[in-house]
Structure 1
Amino acid sequence: MTATDPALTALSQGWCALSLLHGRIEAHIERALQAGHRLSVREYSLLDVLSRQHDGEGGHLQMKQVADAVVLSQSATTRLVTRLEDRGLLERYLCPTDRRGIYTNVTETGRELLEEARPTNDSALREALDEAALNPELAPLVRVVESLHAPAEGAGLPA
């Protein structure tokens, strides 16, 4: 394939459209969460991921798993955890069976804020998708997003 190959051009255009859709959705949700709850998209995502942990075997995520789930580096995730811990939304504690491991849990205050913010997140997502669906370049991607289903429980990272 050459740089002017039509397949590469189409692939590049598709990637640009996907990137545009993601950016628009994230910016719309960011504004709504900041205005209504003083949360960023990343903070909301982190609270959401950590709220899905459980106490059973394999129920607590390692920091790398958390970082992967919120699409941040481990160091950026650690800084984000620290910020939310400082706000009283998260707490860290040593793993009872392996003193080298540190777990992060959502506090009651964090769970309450997450539940208050969830309808805002969901509504902003719907609004952003509806707006994007009016753009002929983005409409096919919106249909794909709307057709996706959450992965089955236990099949990887939390939904």
Structure 2
Amino acid sequence: MTATDPALTALAQGWHALSLLHGRIEGRIEKQLQTHHDLSVREYALLDVLSRQHDGEGGHLQMRQVADAVVLSQSATTRLVTRLEDRGLLARYLCPTDRRGIYTNVTEEGLKLLEEARPTNNTALRAAMDEAALVPELAPLVKAVEDLQGAKVPAS
């Protein structure tokens, strides 16, 4: 296989289209979340992931699991948790069964902000997907993303 191999060229073009779609979506959501809620995309994602925890078996995430869920390194996730904790949106506490473990929960203030921000996130996501669907190179990716869940994300 050479660098000019058609299969590699097609793969590179597909990766470029995927990267472009991601950038468009993230940029639109970022702008709306910052403007209306003083939240970044990563902050919103972290609040969303942590808000889904529960007290049942396996209901609390370890920091490495949180990092994987928000697609950040563990150190970047820890810094992000600290920033949101400083804003009163998250709280950390010791695991009741293993004193070496530290859990992070969303505070009432964090849950309120998340619920206020969710429609903004969903509307920006829907608008970005609709806009991208009009670009021939991106339309198949938009369809693939929408097919992953079996339905389009509704506008809020």
The interval holding the TM-score normalised by the smaller chain is over 0.9
Alignment of 1:3-152 (within 5 A): 3-149=3-149
Q: 4+ residue stretches of structure 1 with deviation over 2 A?
A: none
**SS of aligned partner of 2:135:** coil
1:153 maps to none
Shift of 1:148: 1.1
Measure the CA separation in 1 of the matches of 2:44 and 2:145: 20
| One-letter identity of the residue aligned with 2:36 | G
What is the number of equivalent residue pairs in this alignment?
150
**SS of aligned partner of 1:148:** helix
Give 5+ residue unaligned stretches, structure 2: 151-156
Measure the CA separation in 2 of the matches of 1:148 and 1:126: 15
Percentage of matched positions with identical amino acids: 83
| One-letter identity of the residue aligned with 1:27 | G
Measure the CA separation in 2 of the matches of 1:149 and 1:24: 20
TM-score, length-normalised on structure 1? 0.93
Measure the CA separation in 2 of the matches of 1:24 and 1:85: 29
| One-letter identity of the residue aligned with 2:75 | S
Give 5+ residue unaligned stretches, structure 1: 151-159
2:153 maps to none
| CA RMSD across the alignment | 0.8
| One-letter identity of the residue aligned with 2:110 | G
| One-letter identity of the residue aligned with 1:47 | L
